[in-house]
A and B are shown apart, each in its own frame.
Chain A
């Protein structure tokens, strides 16, 4: 059973438009969420995170939204640029003490293609 789900394997967006990547989770103990970007043959690169005490976090062109009641988060990229083309992974952990609070549980990723 997948605890973090990214239901869209791929997404294509025109350059300059908004990219919206979605992620759903099932484990109510998750309270810290991260997005990573991955280029081929490279490791995942940390983009942005959000704690469950917030519903929005913004960093430049990247904004993450968290809807705890729906167990849903999304990453908005605006404006999208060709260099944003990569696989995006959603990840979650429980930030409290105890086993598993540091383990990241990842989704399967969404491949974003930004078309010039």
Chain B
């Protein structure tokens, strides 16, 4: 079956611009997660959705970052006034429910010039 799909696969933009990253989870998975991976590091948790609501957004680094999942399926991670330090691979994962193995997409590589 189809896995987690993330678009775009690559995004290059200038400092100060707004970006949206999309995640389409595995069908039927109620739990959705966003992580960020910097070079040489493991993925770091950003936010967790159970259904439509953000159950935990404690990993979002600041208020420039926001994520939504309005219908409990597709999610969008939004970054305002991008900074060069936001450059990283943004990974989305989904699972049938919390506390079950998370399945990752291939990520969006974001580069801020």
Q: Which residues of A contact B (CB under 8 A)?
A: 4, 32, 34, 36, 41-46, 49, 89, 91, 93, 95, 99-109
Contact = CB atoms under 8 A, between A and B. Distances in A.
Nearest to B6: A43
A104 B101 CA distance: 10
Interface residues of B, number: 27
10 contacts: A93-B99, A99-B56, A99-B58, A101-B99, A102-B31, A102-B33, A102-B98, A103-B48, A103-B59, A104-B45
Nearest to A45: B104
Contacts of A105: 45
Interface string B54-72: 0110110000000000000
Contacts of B56: 99-100, 102-103
B103 A95 contact: no
B41 A102 contact: no
B68 to A, nearest CB: 19
A98 B28 CA distance: 24
Contacts of A45: 104
Contact of A106 (B33, B43, B55, B105): B43
Contacts of B59: 103
Contacts of A91: 42
Nearest to B41: A108
B86 interface: no
Nearest to A48: B101
B111 interface: no
A103 B45 contact: yes
Contacts of A100: 56, 58
A102 B99 contact: yes
B60 to A, nearest CB: 12
A59 B42 CA distance: 24
Minimum-distance CB pairs A-B, first 6: A106-B42, A43-B104, A102-B98, A103-B45, A43-B106, A46-B101
A107 B37 CA distance: 11
A109 B91 contact: no
A73 B41 CA distance: 19
A36 to B, nearest CB: 8
